[in-house]
Chain A
Amino acid sequence: MKTLVTVKRVPDPETTIRVKPDGSGIVTDNVKYVINPFDEIAIEEALRIKEKLSGEVILVSIGAKVVTEQLRTGLAMGADRAVLILCEQELDSLAVARVLAKLIENEKPELVLMGKQAIDDDSNQAGQMLAALLGWPQATFASKVELAADQKSVQVTREVDGGLETVGFALPGIITADLRLNEPRYASLPGIMKARKKEIKEVAIADLGADVTPRLKVLKLEPPAKKQAGKKFETVQALVDSLHTEAKVI
């Protein structure tokens, strides 16, 4: 199985994000960057498929040269090679999907695994858009992926409102990972050593010929409204009295 996994560099989810005073973006000083957590789950799933069925796991990311750091981490987890599409501008989800669609025309993977959403812009769009552009089936929010014995089709269990839904389709297709699909491995020391020698191919975004005109524009950012500090209680009785007589919610 030839599997392509997308990797996005995002601020560490434990970082507190602050908006710049002029609203033009977020403060990036001292922000640590990591692989988007859902993309890590997607990498892990691709590695498990490879370990079971053999094949190849290719990572792809779009961004500046610094993204090499996250791709190297993914290679240390066990991916075979990586492609970095060099791009300095911010892309919206449609542009990302268009660039990935071009790369997929060249790479021809049988399966594309992605995170269900990036935890910076929280858009939750790229996988679905990529599937649309390629005319491929999609299974978002995956919690279980079962490939058929002949590796020609897949059944995916999805985390939806009120339960678990299972859909099936013939490959190629797009699957986006939800939280419970698996628990990603840490890179081992030998893995880190091996990753140093693995290929990260750099491609200039212009060479792919995708239309990356931004159609979603972020005009400004504001910090969220601040909340006033609340009351603290020592006893359950005092809490219940306040909820009943003051807030009148119970």
Chain B
Amino acid sequence: MANVLVFAEHHKGKFPKSTLIALQAGKEAASKLGGSCIATVLGSGVDAAANEISGYGASKVIAVDDAALANYLADAYAVTLEQLIKANDVSLLVATSTAVGKDLLPRVAARLGVSMATDVVAINADGTFKRPMYAGNALATVSLDGPVKVISVRGTAFDAAQPGGQAPVEKFSVSLDAAAKQMQFVSFNEIKSDRPQLTEARIVVSGGRGLKSGENFTTYLEPLVDALGAAMGASRAAVDAGFVPNDLQVGQTGKVVAPELYFAVGISGAIQHLAGMKDSKVIVAINKDPEAPIFNVADYGLVADLFKAVPELTEEVKKLKG
């Protein structure tokens, strides 16, 4: 096979863990299917970022520096990746299923006239891929025809690439016409938090409709979240009810997480929520309804009124941490 190209997403020069996961998946694909694993960094003033990612085991890093790439925009980024793929004999494009990955890769695939597999969880040696469908109720083996295969990988299914090696960094000049610059970046309103990122945290504590209000998230859930040094999540029902922002949603239509420890507090366990957290290593459910479906996937269940149990749990955790 020809080469693997990994889209190395960065946020103002910083690489989230999801980028190292894409790189690991790219390296795995290259070792199973042949070819070299090339990483590419797009942006404006990306020399430092390209140097940083060159230390994670890719065979080559290609930096694309252009003022039009200063902020992520689907049209200019898709044209750039298309040109990179054609210039570097690429037969597999890989990114992680982040908001950017999900927005960008289908646009690149369609420009190339090829199909794509979303949320890949395994790369098989015969060139097929595994991906979940129907909210994780089915695991599909899929094949992609065409000169280039495009896949987004699920962040929970691959490890992060470890530091090692020093790849050469090349520069690539992209040619972007007016058709590739129709979109304008207006603003980014960052949700600031001192807590770990939901998709990167070792422990996640999620609340559901059982919390009854946004204030109760603050009063009851947040002290537990902070005592554990965890990230906070929520079920779709809690987001729908307006208790918390959508950014916190864990599930089929939100974020997919697989931390070492996952707390589901006041969450009944709808199919669409389970799709986003059932691969967590240890799942704890706290719910007053002993019949709640969340108990079917929980390793440890506590049948209790969360408004009594959660403050008590918070105190116990604080005691343990001394």
Residues of chain A within 8 A (CB-CB) of B190 are 162-163
CB pair A215 B145 closer than 8 Å: yes
CB pair A125 B282 closer than 8 Å: no
Q: Which of B102, B107, B132, B143 contacts A216 (CB 8 A)?
A: B143
Scoring B residues 176 to 188 as 1 if CB is less than 8 Å from chain A, else 0, what string do you get? 0001001111111
CB pair B138 A93 closer than 8 Å: no
Identify the interface centre among B109, B179, B247, B249: most chain A CB within 10 Å of its CB: B109
Nearest chain-A residue to B290 (Cβ)?
A: A232
Residues of chain A within 8 A (CB-CB) of B105 are 128
Q: How would you classify the secondary structure of chain B's contact residues: helix, strand, loop or mixed?
A: mixed
Scoring A residues 98 to 138 as 1 if CB is less than 8 Å from chain B, else 0, what string do you get? 00000000000000000011011111111111111101111
Question: Taking the complex as formed, is A220 at the interface, i.e. its CB lies under 8 A from any CB of chain B?
Answer: yes
Q: How far is the CB of B237 from chain A (nearest CB, A)?
A: 11
CB pair A217 B102 closer than 8 Å: no
- Complex alpha-carbon distance, A38 and B78, angstroms: 25
CB pair A135 B303 closer than 8 Å: no
- Complex alpha-carbon distance, A97 and B113, angstroms: 11
Q: Which of B102, B240, B301 contacts A231 (CB 8 A)?
A: B301
CB pair B106 A124 closer than 8 Å: yes
Identify the interface centre among A117, A133, A218, A250: most chain B CB within 10 Å of its CB: A250
Nearest chain-B residue to A115 (Cβ)?
A: B253
- Complex alpha-carbon distance, A13 and B106, angstroms: 24
- Complex alpha-carbon distance, A214 and B114, angstroms: 10
CB pair B103 A138 closer than 8 Å: yes
Identify the interface centre among B11, B75, B136, B283: most chain A CB within 10 Å of its CB: B75
Question: Taking the complex as formed, is A151 at the interface, i.e. its CB lies under 8 A from any CB of chain B?
Answer: no
- Complex alpha-carbon distance, A26 and B3, angstroms: 35
Number of A-B contacts (CB under 8 A): 262
Question: Taking the complex as formed, is B139 at the interface, i.e. its CB lies under 8 A from any CB of chain A?
Answer: yes
CB pair A216 B100 closer than 8 Å: no
CB pair B260 A249 closer than 8 Å: yes
Q: How far is the CB of A105 from chain B (nearest CB, A)?
A: 16
Question: Taking the complex as formed, is A236 at the interface, i.e. its CB lies under 8 A from any CB of chain B?
Answer: yes
Contacts A166-B187, A249-B282 given; does A239 touch B302 at CB 8 Å: yes
CB pair B137 A250 closer than 8 Å: no
CB pair A135 B179 closer than 8 Å: yes
Q: How far is the CB of B242 from chain A (nearest CB, A)?
A: 9
Scoring A residues 217 to 231 as 1 if CB is less than 8 Å from chain B, else 0, what string do you get? 111111110010111
Contacts of B73-128 to chain A: CB distance below 8 A:
73-75, 78, 98-100, 102-111, 113-119, 128
CB pair B11 A93 closer than 8 Å: no
Contacts of B285-309 to chain A: CB distance below 8 A:
290, 295-304, 309
Binds A, one of B36-44, B59-67, B313-321: B313-321
- Complex alpha-carbon distance, A183 and B136, angstroms: 26
Scoring B residues 133 to 158 as 1 if CB is less than 8 Å from chain A, else 0, what string do you get? 11111111111111000000000000
Contacts A132-B78, A159-B246 given; does A168 touch B184 at CB 8 Å: yes
Question: Taking the complex as formed, is A149 at the interface, i.e. its CB lies under 8 A from any CB of chain B?
Answer: no
Residues of chain B within 8 A (CB-CB) of A179 are 236, 239-240, 246, 249, 253
Question: Taking the complex as formed, is A178 at the interface, i.e. its CB lies under 8 A from any CB of chain B?
Answer: yes
Q: How far is the CB of A24 from chain B (nearest CB, A)?
A: 11
CB pair A217 B107 closer than 8 Å: no
Beyond known contacts A13-B272, A236-B302: 20 more, CB 8 A cutoff? A16-B137, A17-B138, A93-B115, A94-B114, A125-B106, A137-B75, A140-B103, A165-B188, A179-B246, A215-B114, A219-B142, A221-B138, A224-B139, A227-B296, A231-B300, A232-B302, A236-B312, A239-B302, A240-B316, A243-B261
Of the A-B pairs whose beta carbons lie under 8 Å apart in the complex, a sample of 9, sorted by A's number, is: A129-B109, A141-B102, A160-B188, A166-B187, A224-B137, A230-B299, A236-B313, A237-B316, A244-B320
> A: which residues have CB within 8 A of B?
11, 13-14, 16-19, 26, 38, 92-94, 97, 116-117, 119-133, 135-138, 140-141, 143, 155, 158-170, 178-180, 214-224, 227, 229-237, 239-240, 242-244, 247, 249-250
Q: Top 8 closest A-B pairs, CB basis?
A: A128-B106, A129-B110, A132-B110, A215-B115, A125-B106, A216-B115, A166-B186, A160-B99
